Structure 1
């Protein structure tokens, strides 16, 4: 059921042709857009998805999660549970603190966590091994600089905000937000990753659908009011979306306009919730507009450039560069001849890889079966790839560390390229796509893998363990 009202562009002062050009420009960009929604005056004037993506599916949001965590902290402050100036160490037990608490650690406050000015010289998230005590590890790290002295993007800081909230309320972050934010906004599909120590990870790992993101964006634009009720104090959103600290050390023009409480300031007096690979909730207050994208982009600045070059003029009532909009918005499977059949041998891989691939079997009919490690490391699940249109399947988390938190819905296809079986797999509740080129020679399978986006390497090569190859009976 739709939670936002729909309107024609003309009724909200926009040109339908201009919005078509905006869609055309996004489609023509190097960045892969998966879903899109634009609101004007609280009305949805544009909603699109590129097949096989669907706007109703949950989508992994990466650091957009941080803005939801910030909202939870604002609600907790309003409830009198904590303050911005409370020391971080005050929330934790003596056995979680280092033997010697440095002056800089002692000086670190909730405000410093929110503004990414903890005093660390780099993001702490890689140091917080996700199968150990992340809170204790964070508190034990050197705080090289005085808190408040410099902006350094730090997902570990957001994890600590979630841990603090859980200590204060006895509830995980998702459970705390459910009655206070998600249920009033009609967000029923939300899932959020939890660490091995039982804390909602906070800085990443939230999945909701496109309309839910748009509802959150509209709540931000309305300073916390939803259907006449003040869900979040207006003062919190005003402070959170304002420039709290400078961040000129960031490279992209929309990323060095200042940072708030887990929100980025942008050009044109905008602010946004921002997740890796182009997950955006962009608020344009001067034009009463919200822009939401989910995408797979290695250059997310490009998406914002298209917004400023093609949508902003439309909001301003100016002429917009004409870009043809395709008749169908889709991300089709690779085209090419059907792959040749194999002999049904299962080739196994013990070497760890970015895709979590454990085994490959190619049958005589040209169907490939790919086994991936389950997220808990206890077993595998299979995905089948064959020539033709996308084949829809379901699977638990996939892509190993690269795609932790991936969703259930997967589409696959395969083609033959120079004698290789080339499988393409899209985890469509995420940005992730894997291309696996498989070639068997002399009893060994070699797989050349490519990921479209990743926090680590995007390419890898695997050779099967010959001694473990087994023919299917």
Structure 2
């Protein structure tokens, strides 16, 4: 990768100091801030009650550690990303009870958060073994269709690492990369109530641990050779769209394999403001730990401050690639039978041309029509509720259509629909953001085509 240096070192140091002062001025409970460029430490500072040697809960940064472990297992030939996860856990998967949507789930689907579950499975029944719950919870849709954050997926990947190596995530990684970075021996991963590592959220480590590992990852991505390096480059690249679910602008940039895409780069991300932020064009790495759990908009403010600083550094330099949008059909017309679902929808039809289209969801309460335009918001009235709506269609990715529905009137809010299309099937994810109404637009729908369809690409 190209390594542009557009500012003098003294200017970089001043910018890092300014960024830290801005973070302090925000009055967010930021616990640590570290920055380095090309292996050179630019800033390291801590705030009470945390110090340099304290272990910090890193929450979902743990997921990226699971991804690294999978990459090394891939290099060692112990697994393939297209292996079915049920093959590794026969104790939970008897042949007569495994749902086809679960059986079709691959390790790749789990890494990219495209599982067949609509929520973290072990939170549904706290008395059930957390790993077992991933295999016994009834699926809601086909795997490999739509991104939805699922911490039980990462938890199960950690159990897979233990099953294949006999070691926990950190113990296994110590032999592959962590010892090379002088990662602290005191670090550990919290266990769940049944003795398995919390692979989705349990990492306890020091901020400097993350900075050193971040440099190892950046160097591997930029200069590494071999199967693990190739895997890591793929893991931090755009794999699936997240525009429909991201809580911050950066979280809407896409997802790789347990790594988030962000503006100008990628990241390890943990709840409450735990970040390892990578900006490859500038060879910059930031580590931030904090507790924004009770601060609405706190994460976005932190990310904006960092991004504004990176913008100042990269002024005049080459831009990194944005969200990739693959070519999707210019025209489409198809109808689908919808499988049984709580909302009672039974049919879906979708048609569109170069500029406009219409989605119709039919069920026990009649038809819900969503006319849309690709060029600007199309205004209409949503039947049953008699509320004005405005919809502009967006191609989130190849064959993935996003319809954000603005609700205008007394019930101000929004409905979000994302459709993964194919010749034979459709998967729909729905979410309503409104206090009281539109309950039917929640969860997943699955359907199969019932009539001849037509589609054309230019």
Q: 1:275 aligns with which of 252, 270, 277?
A: 270
Tell me the equivalent position of 1:293. Answer: 288
Asked if structure 2 preserves the Cα contact closer than 8 Å seen for 1:63 and 1:276, the reply is yes
1:91-132 deviation per Cα after TM superposition (whole angstroms, max 9, x unaligned): 012455585111101101101110100021223341262x64
Matched with 1:133 is 129
Structure 1, unmatched stretches of 5+, are 1-8, 319-473
| Structure 1 residue 119 corresponds to structure 2 residue 116 | yes
State the superposition RMSD in angstroms.
2.4
1:213-233, Cα deviation, whole Å (9 max, x unpaired)? 1011111211268xx987982
Cα 1:271/1:246, change in 2 over 3 Å: same
Superposed, 1:222-261 pairs within 5 Å as 222-223=219-220, 233-249=228-244, 250-261=246-257
Partner deviation per Cα, 1:295-347 (whole Å, 9 max, x = no partner): 111321211011012343145489xxxxxxxxxxxxxxxxxxxxxxxxxxxxx
Which residue is 1:305 aligned to? Answer: 304
1:176 counterpart = 2:175: no
TM-score w.r.t. the length of structure 1 is: 0.61
TM-score scaled to structure 2, two decimals? Answer: 0.63
Matched, 1:150 2:118: no
Aligned-partner Cα distance in 2 for 1:162–1:306: 33
C-alpha distance in structure 2 between counterparts of 1:223 and 1:121, whole Å: 34
> 1:336-415, aligned counterparts within 5 Å?
none
Aligned partner of 1:166 among 151, 162, 165: 162
- Cα pair 2:121 2:130 within 8 Å, conserved: no
Check whether the contact 1:69–1:202 (CA below 8 A) recurs between aligned residues: yes
Separation in 2 of the partners of 1:231 and 1:37?
Answer: 30
What is the aligned partner in structure 2 of residue 321 from structure 1? none
Contact 1:97–1:136 (CA<8 Å) still a contact in 2?
no
Deviation, structure 1 residue 148: 0.9
Alignment deviations for residues 44-85 of structure 1 (CA, whole Å, 9 cap, x no partner): 011111233212211110000100110001001111111101
* TM-aligned CA deviation for residue 35 of structure 1: 0.5
User: Is the contact made by 2:38 and 2:284 (CA closer than 8 Å) also made in structure 1?
Assistant: yes
Q: Unaligned 5+ residue runs, structure 2?
A: 1-5, 318-458
Within 5 Å, give how 1:176-195 maps onto structure 2. Answer: 176-187=172-183, 188-195=185-192
Asked if residue 87 in structure 1 is aligned to residue 79 in structure 2, the reply is no
Which residue is equivalent to 2:433?
A: none
For these two proteins, the number of residue pairs brought into alignment is 306
Report the alpha carbon displacement of residue 197 of structure 1 after superposing the two structures with TM.
3.0
